[in-house]
Amino acid sequence: MSEKIFVFDTTLRDGEQSPGASLNVYEKFEIARQLVKLKVDIIEAGFPVSSPAQFEAVKRIADELDVVVAALARAKEIDIKSAYDALRNGKRPRIHTFSSTSDIHILGKFGDEKYGKTLEEKRKTVLKMSYDMVQYAKTFVDDVEFSAEDAGRTDIGYLADIVETAIEAGATTINIPDTTGYTMPSEFGQKIAELKKRVKNVDKAIISVHCHNDLGLAVANTLSAIQNGARQVECTINGIGERAGNASLEEIIMALKVRQDLWKYKTDIDTTEIYNASRMVSGFTGIVVQPNKAIVGENAFAHESGIHQDGMLKNNQTYEIMRPADVGVNKTKIVLGRHSGRHGLKVRLDELGYKFTEDELQKVYTKFLELADKKKEVFDDDLRILMGDEVYKAREMYELDYLQVNAGTFTIPTATIRLKVGEETIQESSTGDGPVDACFNAIERALNLKPTVESYNVRSVTQGRQALGEAIVRIRSEENSFTGRGVSTDIIEASAKAYVQAINQYQLYQRTNINLSEEKITMQSI
């Protein structure tokens, strides 16, 4: 009989810690709905104490969706209380609390005054604090997960003590993160096997793993942990996350599915929803999926060489270990055009996993007609972009209302832009080194801001000469970066939209991020 592996998706928490990937509440909710369709077991929706926006997103997801919703909390009362407040009206709340356990973290992060002078004293304090805080979380909910941060580099004896203590305090899931992506698959698997042997109450909790990808081994480490007794995997769509990211959900799931001959594990994941989830996350975060990415990359099912194509025509198993349809990649592309009508558009958007109000549908339909006029054939990717661009981003502070650009071989590039700010408009003009620079300068003048542009990329996201162009702009302010994405058949307009959106993300962060007195909490500081 196959054993169930629980899938804990942390796209909305660790995934959102990817540089520049901040998501607004609407986008998070939409992704959460898609994760429910995908049938993940647990959604980690955010870190409520870190900002009102995080709190609101966790609350909305917990209130409205019937799935286990986890909220992250450091081993501190203020965090745990905030996590509970966000989750309290949800059907299936989980508080996920954590503390660092490796010597490097304990010595590097915990001050002498509060934690003790020596490593031994500090370790004792962390042990007690973990016990107390799991107990505290248990006063609010039954479902408590405890993570031993940097477990990958934690001494096995101390790790076993921490795990035993957290279970004794009532934790029902114990997570063993390889926070820095340091371990090798055999070593990490061995660590899980050792814990199963050493911890006397280990059967009272599910062992979970959470692997980062700094050495490109996150998925391999996760699979090795499963073989050694882990029964929950923490992962993200497209493998996004802090630094090099987290273990990718789609790779773990398809490895388990494709090699059922090897391993008898099952998950509840509906693999045909993987591709929609991947596209949605990429669209909302602005993090492009590399073409050769396993399972969801553009080339994952493309066969280039003649020999391969010939083999595929004779029998597709010659070069494909899974079918594109297994992960929801539809080879026969559904194409809409200007005669498709509002109902046809609604049906296709439903199939792609979107939910919208009648007003939003009308708005997208208008945009769809404009696009169909320019492009004739409108593909799924065009629709995904319209949804992200027109429905969810539209509720932001500044909106590009009008743009005019003069550029040419012998002219000084000049741009005039008009921005909508609620009911008001601001108009400005500027010159620049090129048409995009002129637009950015005009926007900066209008808003009286001068952020550092960290990166700027343009690419075509759909097919054909009239393809939609996507611009992604990342700006930086102190230790945080913010990404904006703009789409249009005109790449200058796409660039201006992207810049305005990045500024919107920055403004949102400024308005909602709270600086808790003791230490500054940002997602990057975890």
The footprint of ligand KIV (CB under 6 A) covers 14, 98, 147, 149, 175, 177, 179, 210, 212, 526
484 touches which of Zn ion, ligand KIV, none (CB within 5 to 8 A by kind)? none
CB 98 to ligand KIV: min, Å: 5
Of residues 14 and 399, the one with the C-beta less far from Zn ion: 14
Q: How far apart are CA 309 and CA 212, in angstroms?
A: 36
How do 173-178 and 206-211 pair as beta strands?
parallel
Residue with smaller CB distance to Zn ion, 14 or 41: 14
Say which residue the tokens 């998925």 belong to.
219
Which region, judged by CB under 5 A, interacts with Zn ion, from 14-22, 225-233, 344-352, 383-391? 14-22
Residue 136 site contact among Zn ion, ligand KIV, none (CB < 5 to 8 Å, cut-off depends on kind): none
Nearer to ligand KIV by Cβ, of 78 and 526: the residue is 526
Of 153 and 363, CB closest to ligand KIV: 153
User: In the bound complex, which residue of the shown chain has the CB atom lying closest to Zn ion?
Assistant: 14
Residue closer to ligand KIV by CB (options 234, 470) is 234
User: Is 242 or 470 the residue whose CB approaches Zn ion more closely?
Assistant: 242
From ligand KIV, Zn ion, none, which one binds at residue 147 (CB under 5 to 8 Å depending on kind)? ligand KIV
What does the alpha-carbon distance between residue 154 and residue 97 come to, in Å, rounded to a whole number? 18
Nearest in space to 489 (alpha carbons), one of 398, 393, 377, 411: 377
Identify any residues that bridge with 16 across adjacent strands, giving them in sequence order.
none
149 binds, among ligand KIV, Zn ion, none (CB under 5 to 8 A by kind): ligand KIV
Degrees (nearest 5) of the Cα angle 417, 431, 426?
A: 25
Pairing of strands 232-235, 3-4: unpaired
> Does the footprint of Zn ion cover residue 14 (CB under 5 A)?
yes
Q: Confirm if 481 and 20 have CB atoms less than 8 A apart.
A: yes
90: how many CB neighbours lie within 10 A of its CB?
A: 23
Nearer to ligand KIV, 467 or 526 (CB): 526
Residue identified by tokens 């019937």 is 66
Give me the least distance between CB of 161 and Zn ion, in Å please: 22
| Distance in Å, CB of 436 to Zn ion, minimum | 35
Helix (H), strand (E), coil (C) string for 270-321:
CHHHHHHHHHHHHHHHCCCCCCCCCCCCCCCCCCCCHHHHHHHHHCHHHCCC
d(CA 217, CA 195): 21
The least CB distance from residue 178 to ligand KIV, in Å, is 8
- The answer to whether the CB of 262 falls within 8 A of the CB of 228 is no
Beta carbon of residue 217, minimum distance to ligand KIV (angstroms, whole number)? 14
Min dist. Cβ of residue 234 to ligand KIV (A): 7
Nearest distance in Å: CB 246, Zn ion: 6
Q: Which residues bind Zn ion (CB under 5 A)?
A: 14
